[in-house]
Structure 1
Amino acid sequence: MLTTVQIRSLKPEARPFKVPDADGLFLIVQPSGALLWRFRYKVLGHERKLSLGTFPELSLQQARKKRDEARAQLVDGIDPVEEKRQRRIAAELAAQTTFGLVAEEYIQKMEREGRSPATIKKARWFLELLDGIAQRPIASVTPHELLDVLKRVERRGHHETALRLRSFAGRVFRYGFATLRTEKNPADILRGALTVPKVKHHAAIIEPKKVGELLRAIEDYKGRPETLHALRIAPHVFLRPGELRQAKWDEIDFAEKVWRVPAERMKMKQPHAVPLSRQSLFILQDLRSLARTSEYLFPALHTTKRPLSDNTLNVALRRLGFENDEMTSHGFRAMASTLLNESGLWHPDAVERALAHGEKDRVRAAYHRGAHWAERVRMAQWWSDYLDELRIGGDVVKGKFRKRA
């Protein structure tokens, strides 16, 4: 049997040669002076050699321990060389299936499924925030690692972002599970681990007299005409800010008096039709008379190839003197929802359809897509007339207002 002193005294020769230890363990002395540990054994009558490491990085005692572990595998019917090859393949596969690569693949799937550009952009932002685990094999990511990333975001005060980040990570892990890259979802284990912030509703003016003040202030807006027209039509059509500012002219049917918003721009991914009142049509015709060559109703300031930025209308409201906790561009929807429902004149489902709120019951949703169209047309005109009365400060048509429960 070899000793460490003997090993250190070995001198290289012109050709490699072997120096045996015991039980199949031996050293190969290379002409370069490198000393390579090998374990020789037989499987089904065939001789095989297992590479264990190099001396002195792997000491004599360590080499013997590895030899003994390999011999134990042979007793269990495991070929050590094949086992080592499988571990190498698994490691290489793991390196090719990092969380970041699987997440990127998942985002590409979202794109193929027609998710909106805004949704895709947000997903890529989430992936940037998850940089702490992006290079880790997805199957090896632990709940502790993911929680550490989420807590860093939460400690900066971004509680809502941390919650959404956990949700996105969970979807990536589920996709990884469905595509056989992982067998666990650490994000599920972390449900309840993050602070749930108090829900903040979009600020909105819902008192009729103050609505009139807002509408008069909008008419006095001295900024860009496109922004003025966006502010003017927003109260009439109930669209979400993103759905409004990204509007294109080919969606407007002046003859049929309908604005058809495609599914890809709608939050619920369902096409949405908006009946246009006389007032809405007038605002749109006035906007078209500006004759700016753009596919967008409300093009950006420096280019006609993009719509207004997402904060333009809120900035305009601030310029008009309405603070962020008083009125937002999203608040026009809350204004309409509150006052239309309180009027008692319209079926609640008609109001919900006008706001393009999703119906969880698919059968009910299919029915209601067309069931209230005629009522919605009447409601759109009544609402625009009502806004005019509020704006000029005249007699307000109150209708049969419901009593609050």
Structure 2
Amino acid sequence: MAIKTNPLSDTEVRSAKPKDKLYSLYDGDGLELRITKAGSKSWLFRYKRPHIGKTNYIKIGSYPETSLAQARKLRSEYRELLEKDVDPQKWIDDQAGRRRREVSTTLKNVAEKWFAVKFTSVSERHSLNISRSFETHLFPKLGHCPVGDLTAPDVIDVLSPLDAAGRSETITRLCQRLNELMTWCVNTGILKHNPLAGIKAAFASKKPTKMPTIKPEQLPELMKALSFAQIRVMTRCLIEWQLHTMVRPSEAAQARWDEIDLQQMLWTIPPERMKQKREHQVPLTPQTMALLDFIKPISGRSEYLFPSEHNPGQPTHSETANRALQRMGYAGVLVSHGLRALASTTLNERGFDADIIEAALAHQDRNQVRSAYNRATYLERRRKLMEWWSDHIEEAATGKMVMGGKKGLKVV
């Protein structure tokens, strides 16, 4: 007949004193309080392991940090597992392993590992944009979540305020970056599948809008406004440089002196700074060479043609030209990117070859074979186009431009 154990009381547990050797007080159903010679007290759960029959002890906690009531609660949970033939020790080990995996695979932790890989193939500025987008929009609410627990509704809920604010471009970038991260997790074995595939479909697509620009006949007015504008000299030069070279705002703002070949009159923009990730060469004209001569005494000691006003070791911001145009009264009428549209419209109206214009604008030709051929043969033909365009801008600035009846050089 089994000996019945009387349950312990709080008073017995509290008043238990150390003895000459280690001993235990029993509460029944495998729960015991072990007291050492030094006087420390620990709760233990004693049981026989399922399918093995070997006696095992699980330390529940120390007294008084773990009370009698808390110890009994854990004993009950372990007993429930035993009734299902589940070994409490194995269950505890599995839970601990799961918690370790959760800590090591939170969105923030995994994203930082992905950053280390991703940032080796993109520019420093692009790397900063990616990390800031995660820190600003994702980490505050989702950074602590294991990527394996993330669901599409979770992420959509976090991005919804951006949708309500009309920031569709930000949502698009975040969805693209999240999906790239999830694909990396699948490829590295962290996930078995991408739980966020297709989340962009939950948001309405932004209808493409044309960049605000002006008509070709308004160029003289722009050049007059630029000459009288209350803006920094280097900002005025930046706008003129972008207008003459027909490049994108970021490409102009980040132009470096070591990219300029003065003898060949050629500006070579490396692939990592181009939208299509392909090197782009810009033939320089007498007007753009004169512009370089003008700014050399100002920015020649910097790496950049147009260094930041506050940090000469960095290029000016790509929005510098836009802000200047707004101060000049062109808010909602013209943006710096619209200068490319102005050039394209003018050149097309004057009869220049469309392929030459597209090559000058660094637009990607969908036909890869034709694109390779164009890149190899269009440089000198583009030089003629660029010279005409610079002359046209100069005439607009000096008031000599005649809009009616003057035809451009048709490149064939």
Q: Partner of 1:72 in structure 2?
A: 84
Query: Secondary structure of the residue that 1:328 maps to in structure 2?
Result: coil
Would you say the 8 A contact 1:98–1:137 is kept in 2?
yes
Q: Distance in 2 between the 1:332 and 1:69 partners? A: 72
Would you say the 8 A contact 2:133–2:174 is kept in 1?
yes
Would you say the 8 A contact 1:239–1:355 is kept in 2?
yes
Stretch deviating more after TM superposition (128-137 or 286-295): 286-295
1:352 partner letter:
E
Q: Partner of 2:187 in structure 1?
A: 178
Aligned pairs (5 A) from 1:198-213:
198-205=207-214, 207-213=215-221
Would you say the 8 A contact 1:167–1:187 is kept in 2?
no
Q: Partner of 1:40 in structure 2?
A: 48
Would you say the 8 A contact 2:46–2:57 is kept in 1?
yes
Q: Distance in 1 between the 2:176 and 2:4 partners? A: 58
Would you say the 8 A contact 1:275–1:376 is kept in 2?
yes
1:345 offset after TM fit, Å? 2.0
2:202 partner letter:
A
Q: Partner of 1:344 in structure 2?
A: 351
Superimposed CA distance per residue, residues 202-238 of structure 1 (whole angstroms, 9 cap, x where no aligned partner)? 2111x22112211232233453322222122221101
Q: Partner of 1:382 in structure 2?
A: 388
2:33 partner letter:
V
For the pair 1:355 / 2:367, whether they are aligned, the reply is no
Q: Partner of 2:175 in structure 1?
A: 166
Q: 1:390 to 1:398 in 2, by over 3 A?
A: farther
2:115 partner letter:
I
Q: Distance in 1 between the 2:316 and 2:3 partners? A: 79
Q: Partner of 2:146 in structure 1?
A: 137
Q: Partner of 1:232 in structure 2?
A: 240
The CA RMSD over aligned residues, in Å, is 3.0
Q: 1:48 to 1:234 in 2, by over 3 A?
A: same
Q: Partner of 1:104 in structure 2?
A: 112
1:172 partner letter:
L
Q: Distance in 2 between the 1:327 and 1:87 partners? A: 60
Query: Secondary structure of the residue that 1:86 maps to in structure 2?
Result: helix
Q: Distance in 2 between the 1:283 and 1:17 partners? A: 91
1:258 offset after TM fit, Å? 0.5
Q: Distance in 2 between the 1:296 and 1:29 partners? A: 74
Q: Distance in 2 between the 1:170 and 1:2 partners? A: 63
Q: 1:360 to 1:52 in 2, by over 3 A?
A: farther
Q: Distance in 1 between the 2:134 and 2:47 partners? A: 45
1:146 offset after TM fit, Å? 1.4
Q: Distance in 2 between the 1:216 and 1:398 partners? A: 23
1:394 partner letter:
M
Stretch deviating more after TM superposition (208-217 or 220-229): 220-229
Q: Partner of 1:8 in structure 2?
A: 9
Q: Partner of 2:102 in structure 1?
A: 94
2:129 partner letter:
K
Q: Partner of 1:308 in structure 2?
A: 316
1:3 offset after TM fit, Å? 9.2
Q: Partner of 2:31 in structure 1?
A: 27
Q: Partner of 1:297 in structure 2?
A: 305
Q: Distance in 2 between the 1:91 and 1:50 partners? A: 19
Q: Partner of 1:194 in structure 2?
A: 203
1:197 partner letter:
K
Q: Distance in 2 between the 1:341 and 1:3 partners? A: 100
Tell me the TM-score normalised to structure 2 length: 0.83
Would you say the 8 A contact 1:2–1:20 is kept in 2?
no
Q: 1:359 to 1:83 in 2, by over 3 A?
A: farther
2:341 partner letter:
A
Would you say the 8 A contact 1:202–1:331 is kept in 2?
yes
Q: Partner of 1:124 in structure 2?
A: 131
Would you say the 8 A contact 1:231–1:313 is kept in 2?
yes
Q: Distance in 1 between the 2:387 and 2:94 partners? A: 71
Number of equivalent positions: 389
1:16 offset after TM fit, Å? 3.6
Would you say the 8 A contact 1:52–1:66 is kept in 2?
no
Q: 1:47 to 1:30 in 2, by over 3 A?
A: closer
Query: Secondary structure of the residue that 1:187 maps to in structure 2?
Result: coil
1:100 offset after TM fit, Å? 0.6
Would you say the 8 A contact 2:5–2:27 is kept in 1?
no
Q: 1:44 to 1:101 in 2, by over 3 A?
A: same
The percent identity for this pair of structures is: 28
Q: Distance in 2 between the 1:374 and 1:2 partners? A: 103
Stretch deviating more after TM superposition (352-361 or 210-219): 352-361
Q: Which runs of 5+ in 1 are unaligned?
A: none
Q: 1:73 to 1:270 in 2, by over 3 A?
A: farther
Identify which of 17, 24, 34 aligns with 2:24: 17
Q: Which runs of 5+ in 2 are unaligned?
A: none
Q: 1:249 to 1:49 in 2, by over 3 A?
A: same
Q: 1:100 to 1:211 in 2, by over 3 A?
A: same
Superimposed CA distance per residue, residues 242-273 of structure 1 (whole angstroms, 9 cap, x where no aligned partner)? 11111111111121111111222222222211
Q: Distance in 1 between the 2:240 and 2:3 partners? A: 92
Would you say the 8 A contact 2:270–2:278 is kept in 1?
yes
Would you say the 8 A contact 1:293–1:304 is kept in 2?
no
